[in-house]
Amino acid sequence: MAASMLEVRLSKTTKARCVFAACDLKSGDEILVEEPYAISLSTYQDRCDYCFSDRNKLLRCSRCKCQNYCNTSCQRSAWVLHKNECKDLQRFSPGKPSETVLLVARLLQLSKKYSKESNSSDDFPCSLSELQSNHEHFNEQRKKQFVKLLSTLKNYCGDQLPSNQELLHLFGQVTCNSFNICDPEMQSIGVGIYLKSSLLNHSCSPNCTAIFVGTTIHIRAVKAISKGEECSISYIDLMNPSHIRQRMLQEQYYFTCDCTSCQEELLDAEMGSVTCENCSGQVLRRDDTSFQACSACNTQVLPTRISEVLHIEEESRSLLEDCDSFSEKLKSKSKGQENWQNLFKLWSKLSIKQAGVLHIENVYRVRTVDKLYDVAVNLQNWTDALYLAQKVIQSYRKLYPSFHPLIGVHLLRLAKLQHFLGSFTMAIQYLQQASDIIKVTHGLQHELYKQLEEIQSNCIVEARFYSSDTQDKVN
């Protein structure tokens, strides 16, 4: 299937291999399905280390007590690599090395196994050595990360390591080619190397998306793509203004994006917008430190207001960055009510500062409201959760490309909430909107779509039941 839909050619501008449509593709076409070359589960995930399933009862490796498996079948398949790793894990202390260290160590094992180059019929890469490294472009921060990795790796794998130069090359390959493996709701659960998929270039307005079934990657078209057109995915979170996207791409992938979205000034202006002090309307951003006049009442943003905005944005940025790793630990280690209460205090404090200053389309505001929504769900404050989710979806619809997996996931969450609260008509409406997107981004065979269909049929039955119930009472 994939072989006939795609072809690999050299780009005229960069002279690098790129992926092009070999025929006309429709939105929703699955264009590439690929098993991972190597994977590594995130440290705080309680999942099978082989297939990433999160079933309730997992078997623990009795020797290292570090890795879990669904059953003996997953354990046996993992043993090929785990055999050597198990000894290293038993010696390693304290705790367990990071997911990147585990991935690099697994790649080292694989490179010994498959040292001979294999050939494939198409021009896709078929060995790790064909992937770019770009380590010569490492910035100071990346160099520091490498030094840290090197010392953990020495502690973990002992003396059998290749030269530092070879490890540097490998670390470069990992940083610019690895994919975040996501669960059906698009939360990252691990990292993986996919040789073919890594040839797809980035666009901030991509015509394809990557989703996962277990650890298998599925690349799907989210727009119609004409024969000969380049296929692209997004490497980063697109809910960032273009100057931040450019910085992220430069720091991790060493290129400047010149896609159509990066020229779109309106989208940037919205992502940085603030609330008008006079009429509460949306005030668009001009650049980092200046704003346009309010489009509704023409009021100018005063310098004191600008410094207030910058201050709140800075505080939001640092909290959001710190909390990503913090909440991941929290979610897996303990689902205690008390921790969620603390998070609730933290996010609502920030949200109160932002309210009336940052517009709901400002990316910091959207992210904070999204965090609050997550906390509300975990504290089972369903009415708050519904209110927050509705705010978030409006901004997602505006700021993400139309067929982005996160929009579908979020619409489905909203539908579940409405269903739970007994608003069946609203639930059915959201399910329809979610279905329109998930059909394209995840496909009809995906677990998430099946889940959607099930809720849909329940909703229809319940809606009928309750409406006849009310009629009975009226009569």
Question: Which residues are near Zn ion by CB under 5 A?
Answer: 48, 50-51, 53, 61, 63-64, 70, 74, 86, 204, 257, 259, 261-262, 276, 278-279, 281, 294, 296-297, 299
Per DSSP, the three-state class of 59 is strand
Residue 68 beta carbon to Zn ion: minimum distance, rounded to whole angstroms: 9
Nearer to Zn ion, 198 or 232 (CB): 232
Residue 471 beta carbon to Zn ion: minimum distance, rounded to whole angstroms: 47
Nearer to Zn ion, 102 or 294 (CB): 294
Task: Round to whole Å and give the CA distance between 426 and 218.
Answer: 31
From 27, 34, 24, select the one nearest 2 (Cα to Cα): 34
**Helix axis angle, 363-378 relative to 382-399, nearest 10°?**
150
Pair of tokens at residue 412? 């489905």
Residue 143 beta carbon to Zn ion: minimum distance, rounded to whole angstroms: 26
Nearer to Zn ion, 250 or 261 (CB): 261
Nearer to Zn ion, 7 or 85 (CB): 85
Task: Round to whole Å and give the CA distance between 284 and 270.
Answer: 6
Task: Round to whole Å and give the CA distance between 372 and 388.
Answer: 7
Q: In Å, how far from its chain's centre is CA 351?
A: 23
Nearer to Zn ion, 359 or 367 (CB): 359
Nearer to Zn ion, 278 or 383 (CB): 278
Q: Quick one: 14 exposed, middle or buried, by C-beta within 10 A (0-12, 13-18, 19+)?
A: exposed
From 222, 188, 180, 219, select the one nearest 205 (Cα to Cα): 222
From 406, 389, 362, 141, select the one nearest 270 (Cα to Cα): 362
Residue 328 beta carbon to Zn ion: minimum distance, rounded to whole angstroms: 21
Residue 278 beta carbon to Zn ion: minimum distance, rounded to whole angstroms: 5
Nearer to Zn ion, 67 or 173 (CB): 67
Residue 228 beta carbon to Zn ion: minimum distance, rounded to whole angstroms: 21
Residue 48 beta carbon to Zn ion: minimum distance, rounded to whole angstroms: 3
Task: Round to whole Å and give the CA distance between 320 and 326.
Answer: 10
Nearer to Zn ion, 50 or 156 (CB): 50
The single-letter code of the amino acid at 305 is: R
Residue 398 beta carbon to Zn ion: minimum distance, rounded to whole angstroms: 17
Task: Round to whole Å and give the CA distance between 60 and 190.
Answer: 18
**66: number of Cβ within 10 Å:** 19
Pair of tokens at residue 169? 């090359």
Phi-psi region of 356 (alpha: psi -120 to 50; beta: other; left: phi over 0): left
Residue 71 beta carbon to Zn ion: minimum distance, rounded to whole angstroms: 7
Nearer to Zn ion, 105 or 427 (CB): 105
Q: Write the CB contacts of 425 (distance below 8 Å, at least 6 apart in sequence).
A: 463
